[in-house]
Amino acid sequence: MAKTARTKYLIIGNSAGGVGAAEAIRAVDKAGTVTIVSDEPYPAYSRPLISEHLAEGCSLERMLFRPADFCERHGIKTLLGQKVASLSLDEHIARVETGQEIGWEKLLLATGGKPIVPRMEGLESKGVFTFTTLADAKAIAQAITPSSRAVVIGGGLIGVSVTEALVKRGVGVTIVEMKDRILNTILDEEASALAAEALSEHGVEIITGHTVSKVNSRPAKGGSVSSVTLENGRKLPCNLVVVAIGVVPRLDLVAGSDVRTNRGVIVDRHMATSCRDVYACGDVAEAYDFIAGENRVTPVWPNAYLGGRVAGFNMAGAPAEYQGGTAMNSLKYFGLAIVSAGVTNPPDGSYEVVSNIYGSSCRKIWVKDGFIRGMLYSGEIEPAGIVFSLMRDMVNVDSFKERLVAADLGLSSLPEALWRSRLSLPPSVPVTTIPVEEPEEVLVGE
Amino acid sequence: MKRVYVNEPACIGCRLCEVHCQFAHSSSKDLVKAFKKAAPPLPRLRVEVKKPVSFSVRCQHCDEPACVYACLTGALTKDEKTGVVSVDTEKCMGCWTCILVCPYAAITRDGDKISKCDLCTGKPLPSCVANCPNEALVYAETRES
Ligand SMILES: Cc1cc2nc3c(=O)[nH]c(=O)nc-3n(C[C@H](O)[C@H](O)[C@H](O)COP(=O)(O)OP(=O)(O)OC[C@H]3O[C@@H](n4cnc5c(N)ncnc54)[C@H](O)[C@@H]3O)c2cc1C
């Protein structure tokens, strides 16, 4: 029988959520053993940067999410390139593919998502990829030739991100999006059109309202990709296919266990699962969404980090609550600057849209019952955080909502009590020193 | 840690804080050269004037910095000792996620990177505070809860 190693905290997944948890644990427990296992062979890297790696060979060193000595400095043990094959939740044991067993006191599932790959003829052909890991980016980079032409299936954030990287590498790209517009889950119609225009200007062909039904290769079975066939019979010649339809929570480790799942692992406001001593965060989890008012999968980096942080504190015995996250995105591809959060495609007519378009900027909020439920700022995005914080903190904005989309939006657009509480010296805090010094000497001309 | 607070009634909206912020972060030590002979860097604070109200806003180096927690690349960090929130522009990829979450709107785009207040690290007083003609900015130690 394999020898069982022991650790106080076991974290499965070495990314946003896992690192967030490890940092929180170390903030309160400097001594308890922390072990992170990841089936990726690299130290924690910024996943969104894989497009930068594909585009311009951004080095692993530059992609690292934390300094290279992070784990050493914090006394964190890592098992990289090793997959946890199964869990015994009752016995508090994880079995690694190598045969090693790890006994744990507190477990965090930070296993993230896995790419959705639909059943489709020809997917085994050479030249078909997904795009969620550094290994994917490396594989695509290797497959690119000067005459490459790519079809990207899916016009969401990941599809647009791989498209930009391919375009930067000189590869012609066609995006095939099933719905009637790209980025349809994170942008409203107008902003989608703006994004589509920016892509087109960079030579990207966008086909909406259609799906790929078949990947063709030469030779027919197991050869290299030669084209894809759409559901209407149209053929698009290409030698690269990237499947970028989205990700789903990676639930395999808890399938059939006592851990309650829906679309993702269901967690409470402490990021605890239905199973004692087992926590979850990030893309694998279904955590509180303050806009939906219920648990939802919101697969974005900041929510993974924050959820991990809350999980870590609780695992280490320092109670912490997850304020909740929501869908939030920031788009910088193809020279765009668009940020959005919450509901940008209202399900019914009960949302009031307050908007303002000026110059090449657009500011929009969706208000319901006096509260901001969604926001989208493009162009001059700088003041967007003011609005995001009002939305997250559930501030009733009915009396000043018009000001939140004005071109001169600032903290002074808020009611006085709000900006005063943010900017003034808090009256209750003791002031120890206010050094008054002579202004610095300044040279004025020569 | 010490932070810059606004004493709003004393602010006359003169924008000297803005000028001195730019000057402090320019490579020239000469005011005229910094502004007339070169392109001055972006100010790392913002002056808001909606008469009669005026004040300047910069990063508050939050105890729970939303920008640091949201940063996709690890470019934004909060120094464990000084509490200063700073950006490593080598690591910043200009994704603007921090801009979306900063409640002070204290982060600006600067080309394909971000720019923000660094509290004039290394100086006894931030330049904006040192050069405010009317003590409208207060650099004060606050005890954290
Ligand atoms: C191309 C791309 C661009 C993106 N851009 C953005 C963006 O701009 N903004 C944004 O907010 N988000 C973006 N995201 C989403 C963001 O990357 C994710 O939300 C985030 O990575 C989730 O972090 P996580 O810690 O939950 O899981 P992940 O980052 O998915 O990491 C989970 C890790 O666990 C490992 N693992 C899983 N199962 C096991 C096992 N059994 N044993 C060992 N290891 C295991 C996985 O291999 C993986 O390394 C992007 C994603 C992609 C792919």
**Residue-by-residue DSSP string for A247-262:** EEE--GGGTTSSS-BS
Let me know whether B26 and B44 are in one domain.
yes
Confidence bin at B145 (pLDDT 50/70/90): very low
Q: Do the Cβ atoms of B104 and A422 come within 8 Å?
A: yes
**Looking at residue A429, what is its pLDDT?**
47
Please tell me the predicted confidence (pLDDT) of residue A434. Answer: 46
Residues B54 and B33 in one domain: yes
A19 C-alpha to center of ligand 1: Å? 12
CA of B45 to the centre of ligand 1 (A): 34
Q: Are residues B69 and B41 in the same domain?
A: no
Asked if residue A3 has pLDDT above 60, the reply is: yes
Residue B107 lies in a domain: yes
Look at ligand 1, atom 37, and give the residue with the nearest C-alpha. Answer: A111
What DSSP string describes B65-129?
Answer: -HHHHH-SSS-EEE-TTT--EEE-TTT-----HHHHH-TT---EEETTEEE---TTTTSSS-HHH
pLDDT at A139: 98
The one-letter amino acid code at A319 reads P
* Protein residue closest via CA to atom 3 of ligand 1: A48
Cβ proximity of A167 and A149 under 8 Å: no
Q: Per residue in A348-389, pLDDT tens?
A: 999 999 999 999 999 999 999 999 999 999 999 999 999 999
Mean pLDDT across chain A: 95
Find the residue in A nearest to B123 (Cα).
A440
Rounded CA gap, B93 and A161, in Å? 13
Most A-contacting residue of B60, B80, B97 (CB-CB within 10 A), to test interface: B97
Nearest chain B Cα distance for residue A437, angstroms: 7
Cα–ligand 1 centroid distance for A20 (angstroms) = 13
A443–B140 C-beta distance less than 8 A? no
Rg, C-alpha atoms of chain A: 24
Protein residue closest via CA to atom 27 of ligand 1? A112
- Please report whether residue B144 resides in a domain: no
Tell me if chain A has a CB within 8 Å of the CB of B59: no
Same domain, B10 and B52: yes
Assess whether B112 and B69 both reside in one domain: yes
Contacts B89 to A, Cβ<8 Å: none
Determine the pLDDT at residue B143.
56
What residues of chain A lie within 8 A of the CB of B127, using their CB?
440
- Per-residue pLDDT of A240-256, as tens digits, reads 999 999 999 999 999 99
pTM: 0.95
Ligand 1 pocket at CB < 6 A: A 12-18, 37-40, 47-48, 50-51, 83-84, 110-113, 131-132, 157-158, 161, 250, 253, 282-283, 299-302, 304; B 72, 95
B1 and B52 part of one domain: yes
| CATH number of the domain residue B82 falls in | 3.30.70.20
Task: Band the pLDDT of B142: cuts 50, 70, 90.
Answer: confident
Taking residues B51-55, what's their average pLDDT?
94
Window B:89-128, CB contacts with A under 8 Å: 90-91, 93-97, 99-105, 107-109, 112, 124-125, 127
Which residues are registered as beta bridge partners of A279? A108, A272
Residue B97 lies in a domain: yes
In this structure, are B39 and B78 located in the same domain?
A: no
Give distance in angstroms: CA of A49 to centre of ligand 1: 11
B142 within a domain of the structure (yes/no): no
| pLDDT value at A441 more than 70 | no
Alpha-carbon distance of B132 to A426, in angstroms, equals: 20
Summarize pLDDT for A157-167 with one digit per residue, the tens: 999 999 999 99
User: For A413, phi and psi rounded to 5 degrees?
Assistant: -80, -15
3 state DSSP class of A388: helix
A149 closest CA partner among A226, A38, A221, A217:
A226
Q: What is the mean pLDDT of residues B3-32?
A: 94
Reported as a single tens digit per residue, the pLDDT across B22-40 is 999 998 888 999 999 888 9
Give a yes or no: residue B145 inside a domain. no
Evaluate if residue A435 carries a pLDDT over 50. Answer: no
Residues 6+ apart with CB under 8 A from A379: A337, A359, A360, A361, A362
The predicted-structure confidence for B102-136, as pLDDT tens digits, reads as follows 999 999 999 999 999 999 998 999 999 999 999 99
- In a domain, residue B83? The reply is yes
Whether the pLDDT of residue A430 is over 60: the answer is: no
pLDDT at position B37:
86
Q: Do B76 and B36 lie in a common domain?
A: no
Give chain A positions within 8 Å (CB) of B100. Answer: 328, 330, 339, 341, 381, 384-385, 388
Query: Could you tell me which chain B residue has the CA closest to the CA of A329?
Result: B97
CB within 8 Å: A433 and B142? no
* Exposure string over B57-87, b if 16+ CB within 10 A, otherwise e: bbbbbbeebbbbbbbbbbbbbbeeeebbbbb
Atom of ligand 1 nearest to the CA of A307: 26
Shared domain check, B85 and B111: yes
Q: Is residue B143 part of a domain?
A: no
> For A286-310, how does the pLDDT look when each residue is reduced to its tens digit (9 = 90+)?
999 999 999 999 999 999 999 999 9
Cα(A305) to ligand 1 centroid in Å equals: 11
Q: Is residue B95 part of a domain?
A: yes
pLDDT score, position A168: 97
Q: Which residues of chain A have a CB within 8 Å of the CB of B92?
A: none
Quote the percentage of chain A above a pLDDT of 70.
95
Q: How many domains does chain B have?
A: 2
Shared domain check, B32 and B12: yes
The 10s digit of each residue's pLDDT in A54-92 is 999 999 999 999 999 999 999 999 999 999 999 999 999
Round to whole Å and give the CA distance between A234 and A230.
Answer: 5
Q: Is the ipTM of this complex over 0.90?
A: yes
Q: Is pLDDT at A443 greater than 70 in this prediction?
A: no
Cβ within 8 Å of A, B 4-43:
5-8, 23, 29-32
Assess whether B68 and B93 both reside in one domain.
yes
Contact B30 A443 (CB under 8 A): yes
- Selected residue with higher pLDDT from A129 and A428: A129
CA–centroid distance, residue B70 to ligand 1 (Å): 14
Q: Which atom of ligand 1 is nearest to the CA of A16?
A: 25
The answer, for B142 touching chain A at a CB cutoff of 8 Å, is yes
Containing domain of residue B23, as a range? 1-58+122-137
Tell me which of A107, A300, A330, A332 to substitute to probe ligand 1's pocket, judged by most ligand atoms within 8 Å of the beta carbon: A300
User: CB-CB: which of B94, B100, B139 is closest to A388?
Assistant: B100
Same domain, B95 and B49: no
Query: Average pLDDT for residues B83-98, to the nearest whole number?
Result: 96
pLDDT in tens, A6-52: 999 999 999 999 999 999 999 999 999 999 999 999 999 999 999 99
